[in-house]
Structure 1
Amino acid sequence: MKIAVEEGQNKAVLADGLQQVTITHIEEGVSEHKGTPFFAVRFENEDGYVSQRFYQSKAGMPAIIKLFDMVGIDAQEEKELDTKQLEGKQLTIEVGERSYNDPENHNERTLKQAINFLAS
């Protein structure tokens, strides 16, 4: 079997705590279970990376607005936000773990993700 290695795949997941990062990639999609639109952000620095999904839902909007705000993009009512504006932006994130129940098998899963965003 031949396995292609893409740029950045040799990095480890970031350690817990505050990390100065750059947003290096945005991927858009729809959740597998509820069909909720999301965008996934790759936060990266020289030590590693962490990826996180942001769901476009009533519950998810405060985190989306805070992310845009922390990189200097003002979220205004009645205006659309463009996720592509996030690429290349720098900020400080707090990396930590979040647990949830998997809807398919009801087992608890733990993700490493950004649990807080701070302006750089």
Structure 2
Amino acid sequence: MKLKINEKPFLPEGRHVVKITEVEEGRSENKDIPFINCRMENENGFVNQRFYLSEPGQPILASFLKAIGIDKNEVDSKELKGKVLSIEVEERSYEDAEGKGKTIKQATHFETAGKADISDKF
């Protein structure tokens, strides 16, 4: 049997310099909270990160925007694509709305990528 893989692997845990390659808008399945989902990747893999547009999500979104050099109160999500930043990938476990345990990879600890870190490889 031949296997054809058309996707990169998930980024391993640790710090990575990534580029935002996709931005999708959506609403959470259970509480109908709007979010943006950013796919962040480099030559080694990718991670998807949802940013909820809720009151508790504001500080997380603010630190993400600061890391990619956006310092304004209002931004079009289309402006995020192509931005480069440094992230830390970690696993997080939680219970979903039905009480089932889930583990996801997430991006945290957003920082500005140094000029030496930026590469056209991804």
Q: If the TM-score is normalised by the length of the shorter chain, which range does it land in?
A: 0.7 to 0.9
Amino acid at match of 2:11: L
- Residue 40 in 1 paired to residue 33 in 2? no
**1:91 counterpart SS class:** strand
Counterpart of 2:60 in structure 1 is 63
Q: TM-score, normalised by structure 2?
A: 0.85
CA RMSD of aligned residues (A): 1.2
In the other structure, the counterpart of 1:12 is 9
1:35-114 residue pairs with structure 2 within 5 A?
A: 35-76=32-73, 80-104=74-98, 106-114=99-107
Q: Equivalents in 2 of 1:64, 1:115: separation in Å?
A: 11
Q: Residue 65 of structure 1 contacts residue 75 of structure 1 at CA under 8 Å; is this kept in 2?
A: no
Is residue 40–residue 54 contact of structure 1 (8 Å, CA) maintained in 2?
yes
Q: Which blocks of at least 5 consecutive residues in structure 2 are unaligned?
A: 114-122
User: 3-state DSSP class of the match of 2:29?
Assistant: coil
